[in-house]
Structure 1
Amino acid sequence: MTDAPLRESLVKPNRPQVTNLDGLAAMVAEGETFGVGGHHFARLPIALLNAIAARGTKNLAYVSWAGGLPLEILLEAQAIASIDICFSSLDIFGLPPRFRAAAEAGTVPVNDWTALAMIQALRATEQNLPLMPFQRPAGSDMMERIPGAGTITDAPSGETVGVIPPLRLDTVILHAPRADETGNVAIVGARALDWPMVAAARKVLVTVEEIVPAGELARGDRHAVLTRNRITAIAKVEGGAWPTSCLPDYVTDYAALHAAFASDAPLSRSLALPASRFPADRRAAARIPAATASGVRFPVAINRGAAAASPDEAMAVRIAAELDNDSFASAGAVSPLANVAYRLAKATHAPDMIVATMSCGHLDIAPSPMTLSLIEPFDAETAAAHAGGDDTYSAYYQGGAVTHEIIAAAQVDRHARVNNIALRRKDGGSIRLPGQGGMADVANMHRDYVIYVTGHRKLSLVDTVDIASCGRAYVTDAERAAQGYRPGAVKLITNLCVFALDSESRELVVVETFAGVTRERIVEATGFPVVFAPDCEEIPPVSTETLEILRERIDPLGLRRLEFVGSRNRGGLLDEIVALDRDLVAFLAARTTPKGSAA
């Protein structure tokens, strides 16, 4: 990353420059520390990323909460010199191949951060401080991996806390639905880490769908505004986020993403906006109200009419049973099974629970159906509030207000420690995984630490993880009270059984088994000695009513299945789901008059 003085002014002029796409791209210089706004497949500045790649800009130090598609575009262009992230994934499409190849070969150095450490490092820059404190990710190996992280001891209490120096960015790029003529920029929906990244950047370059007269940002959809003195330059680029979304104008084009990832063609070509016209159905889908899907019997529903629950359904129902009316559940970055379970619980036995999606960017959503295209607009519409990751860490996570963030694990050991960073190969190399995101933080902060593994086998359930990317250090009631956290449970749910962490031995114990699963099968599939609780019992069958709600209302496309297939079979399943999603969107579009249209 670029050398910088301890403190410097990041104040910008009151009126941003208005330019074009090439003008913005030309402002990104070789060797800069470079960040990208947006979130998963939402509001990614794809057109600007392609323009930067086309210019041949090199040696960028990529620093963002997530890698994902932006990082893939820049790695393909050989523009990246180093990577600092919390995780990198292509969501339902799996691991990013260019990131994985670079990390495994060691051709590009990778630094893994916890989300809270990155937030606080950006805040240190924003608040003109030499460092910021943060709760240590105790129980994990992450403190040794975060660049510049250290500890200090509070003299009065004797408590040790983490500290992190400022994280300064040369350039941050964003896409937004609109700006006004004076340079204020409006964003709709989840904000990820856009706000602290903007505050920590020397230059902020923004593409927008439209530029409206001054004063008009106050009208229309719910939005948050970046004031004009935080923006360096703006360019109007219609469709500048395609094939990702830009609410309220258009939704993610999963068919286009699927085709691009399945193709051997360069991403810069596959992700170029069609010259002839913008895909009209993506704009139409953004105008479908969430109420259109309420109580609807969809034309397709996976496993409709099957008497027994499939393994993915049984796991979804069992995860949902962890939740009640007092739950506050945050959906992780790439956890469709957990997201389905949250919505199922809220639609059945826990109507008062709070569900937050897009990494807690959409707060208190309604349990709308899980679809590809409409998850984001439905959640943004029904959410009580929109937020950024920095907001929710401060308001909810750090104080222990969230009860659950039930997250998938690649490797788990007998102490319930998780490894989602890298697996060691027998030849001494490694298999790169997405990363821990915010798991190292929330393993202690959230009341209940619940993880799941969809394929219970010895390679996944091991005696000791290769890297402890997260784990719960504060287990007993007394330990948690001393940290200001509520007492809570630690559980591991697999496709065979449910483990609970014993507070005395601090080891996992089997407390429930799925129907028809023998103890012998569990022992044979587990890489550490298995202990069964004296009162271990079989999980009861799923009721017909619950199955119908799951299949008909919550997950008609069967997105949950994506966590139960290997990479070889994922392409065919994605073909099916993308096609079903198109049909479902067309079905809902035909049932409603678009918002803003005459009846």
Structure 2
Amino acid sequence: MSGPKVSDLPTAISRFVADGMTVALEGFGHLIPFAAAHEVIRQNRRGLTLCRMTPDLLADQLVGAGCVSRLVASYFASGSAGSLYELRRRIERDDPAPLAVEEYSHYGMVCRYQAGAANLPFFPLLSYAGSDIPSINPDIRKVSDPYGGADVYVVPPLRPDVTIVHAQRADHSGNVQMWGIVGVQQEAAFAAKRVIVTVEELVDDQIVRADPNRTLLPAHIVDAVIHCPGGAHPSYAQGYYDRDNAFYRAWTPISRDRERLASWLDTWVRQVPDRSAYLALLGADRWQDLTSGPQPSEPATERRVGAVIAGRTS
């Protein structure tokens, strides 16, 4: 299937991601764009500012590969499966080089994306009252309530140069559909100058139009859509494959040893040309174990407007 927005991943990254850019890679435990991050590593991008709620294995890999010099993030965690030792080395010991960090709460990141998407100068929130986070982040500030209430904390807008997300499907025009747990992908996409989306399936326009409520990203904000089955592994894609918990558990000993981490990046990223080769290296049996079986939903039945009012048929 071809179309004006359909691309391949190397071309999209080459065209839209340059050294020194601010890049958001979003997906809240689900639909994490690992394949796209690996292509960023293969193309040896440098000096990136990485924006991500819950920097996890993806952040550890990008930082370990030398792609990232600044991290804008909230809640540093490895998917409840251990520590992120590359991030710890950089932040705790400046080893082998310091990593600049701009830390927010989860909701603080959401509000930053919302402000960017709505072209607002800032976004107010109450959740920093009593928190220590404002003391380590000078960009979290207080303003006076113009209606006479107490001062309120605000965060600045976040406007990435490019936002990259993974989704279940899109049509050839770039209308993107997601379901299951969605995080802040929609806000991050609307806030960005450019948007790259990898998807499990490219489908006909009629499929998207038949289920419009699943469309989170409309075509007019999407710059490139890439058919990339398995593009979220080791995270999961609802209805396609499960989370690879064994992979998450294995990451702690990998990231603990810098030489082992470098070897992993060579074997699993730099020496494989694309996601298909990555999945082949993972192995058909393991991939089969992760693949979800059919779980169809009942279709929604449309009714003529006004057909049923107060229990009476018109």
User: Scaled by the length of structure 1, what TM-score is found?
Assistant: 0.43
Contact kept, 8 Å, 2:177 with 2:217, in 1: the verdict is: yes
Name 1:70's counterpart in structure 2. 58
Give CA deviations for 1:144-189 in whole Å, capped at 9, x if unaligned. 2335221122244241111222211011111111101211011111
Q: Deviations over 1:318-372 (max 9, x none)?
A: xxxxxxxxxxxxxxxxxxxxxxxxxxxxxxxxxxxxxxxxxxxxxxxxxxxxxxx
Equivalent residue, structure 1, for 2:235: 244
Give the alignment partner of residue 55 of structure 1, picking from 28, 43, 49.
43
Q: Of the candidates 13, 30, 38, which is equivalent to residue 19 of structure 2? A: 30
What is the Cα-based RMSD across aligned positions, in Å? 2.4
CA distance in 1: counterparts of 2:239 and 2:210, whole angstroms: 13
Equivalent position SS for 2:110: helix
| Mapping 1:12-411, distance limit 5 Å | 17-26=5-14, 27-40=16-29, 42-106=30-94, 107-219=98-210, 223-263=214-254, 264=260, 265-267=263-265, 269-270=267-268, 272-275=278-281, 277=284, 279-284=287-292, 286-287=293-294
Q: Which runs of 5+ in 2 are unaligned?
A: 255-259, 270-277, 298-314
Is the CA contact 1:221–1:248 (under 8 Å) kept in the aligned structure 2? Answer: no
CA–CA separation in structure 2 for the residues paired with 1:68 and 1:102: 14
Where does structure 1 lack aligned partners over 5 or more consecutive residues?
1-14, 290-380, 382-599
Deviation at 1:257, TM superposition (A): 3.5
Deviation at 1:204, TM superposition (A): 0.8
Q: What is the CA distance between 1:191 and its match in structure 2?
A: 1.2
TM-aligned CA deviation for residue 268 of structure 1: 5.7
Deviation by residue 1:421-457 (Cα, 9 ceiling, x = unmatched): xxxxxxxxxxxxxxxxxxxxxxxxxxxxxxxxxxxxx
> Which amino acid is the alignment partner of residue 30 of structure 1?
D
TM superposition score normalised by structure 2:
0.80
SS in structure 1 at match of 2:177: strand
Distance 1:219 1:259, change over 3 A: farther
Is the Cα contact below 8 Å between 1:260 and 1:267 reproduced in 2?
no
Percent identity for Structure 1 against Structure 2: 26
- 1:155 and 1:46 map into 2 onto residues whose CA distance is 44
Which letter maps to 1:43?
L
Between structure 1 and structure 2, the one with the greater Rg is: 1
Q: CA deviation at 1:119?
A: 2.1
- State the structure with bigger RCO (CA 8 A, min sep 6), 1 or 2: 2
Runs of 4+ in 1 over 6 A off after TM superposition: none
Give the distance between the partners of 1:192 and 1:180, measured in 2 at CA.
21
Relative to structure 1, the CA distance from residue 218 to residue 80 in structure 2 (aligned partners, 3 Å threshold; closer, same or farther) is same
User: How far apart are residue 29 of structure 1 and its match?
Assistant: 0.5
Distance 1:16-1:193 versus aligned 2 partners, 3 A rule: farther
Q: Residues 214-250 of structure 1, C-alpha deviation per residue, up to 9 Å, x if partnerless? A: 1202557983431111211111111111222111111
Give the Cα–Cα distance (whole angstroms) in 2 for the partners of residues 199 and 19 of structure 1: 20
- Cα separation, 1, equivalents of 2:153 and 2:4: 37
